[in-house]
A and B are shown apart, each in its own frame.
Chain A
Amino acid sequence: DADVTQTPRNRITKTGKRIMLECSQTKGHDRMYWYRQDPGLGLRLIYYSFDVKDINKGEISDGYSVSRQAQAKFSLSLESAIPNQTALYFCATRSGGDTQYFGPGTRLTVL
């Protein structure tokens, strides 16, 4: 089984809908991250969490919210999706070292 899983893998939705992307990990890492990846813009950090009680905004947090339900689960929500949130979304985890382990990604399309 994969260490970092993301659901759903693909999602098409309409403008204004609420969307939740979920991430689960079995690596036992404290630190979890949400990134989005856009062609020509690379990976950009949305939110990160050091533990269940710690949530921090990243570079592009506007329009997004997160919930750290447990050490192993970190969800990303789009309260009212808009077309420019169409992107590939990655969850990542990290232990005390420097290596981040990425999930397989969720491809989100907002029409």
Chain B
Amino acid sequence: QKEVEQDPGPLSVPEGAIVSLNCTYSNSAFQYFMWYRQYSRKGPELLMYTYSSGNKEDGRFTAQVDKSSKYISLFIRDSQPSDSATYLCAMSTSSGAGSYQLTFGKGTKLSVIP
């Protein structure tokens, strides 16, 4: 079993839809959770960062962490064609100077159709 599982999609939704992207993980030592967005032919860029269980909101984006279920989600409200990208979840077991490695999901490719 991979440490981080993410459905690769592709996922295609109409403009304005609510998008739900998910990852599950098996390592209970993961404490820090991130979502990266990667446009075609670009490097990944950090979209959301969370530590504790619960929700974190930033504009149209909401990151949700359920440590008891080892499940994280990214919700995109009022999706736009500019949201079309690959979304990667990432996790680490520690933070700050002591940590060194992120474990990534395989990424979900999202297309938002006008």
CB < 8 Å neighbour of A42 from B46, B101, B104: B104
Is chain A's binding surface mostly helix, strand, loop or mixed? Answer: strand
- Give bound CA distance, A99 to B48, whole Å: 10
Chain B contact-residue range equals 20 to 34
Chain B residues contacting A101 (CB-CB under 8 Å) are: 46
Chain B residues contacting A103 (CB-CB under 8 Å) are: 43
- Give bound CA distance, A90 to B99, whole Å: 20
Interface membership of chain B positions 1-45, coded 1 if the CB is closer than 8 angstroms to chain A and 0 otherwise: 000001010000000000000000000000010100000011111
Assess whether A102 is in contact with B96, with CB atoms less than 8 Å apart.
no
Q: Which of A40, A44, A100, A105 has the most CB of B within 10 A?
A: A100
What's the minimum C-beta distance from B91 to chain A, rounded to whole angstroms? 10
Chain A residues contacting B92 (CB-CB under 8 Å) are: 98
Interface size on A, residues (CB 8 A): 24
Assess whether A98 is in contact with B104, with CB atoms less than 8 Å apart.
no
Number of interchain pairs (Cβ within 8 Å): 52
Assess whether B101 is in contact with A102, with CB atoms less than 8 Å apart.
no
Assess whether B106 is in contact with A45, with CB atoms less than 8 Å apart.
no
Is A31 an interface position by the 8 A CB rule?
yes
What's the minimum C-beta distance from A49 to chain B, rounded to whole angstroms? 10
Interface residues of B in 92-111 (CB under 8 A from A): 92, 95-97, 99-102, 104-107
- Give bound CA distance, A102 to B46, whole Å: 9
Chain B residues contacting A105 (CB-CB under 8 Å) are: 41-43
Assess whether B104 is in contact with A102, with CB atoms less than 8 Å apart.
no
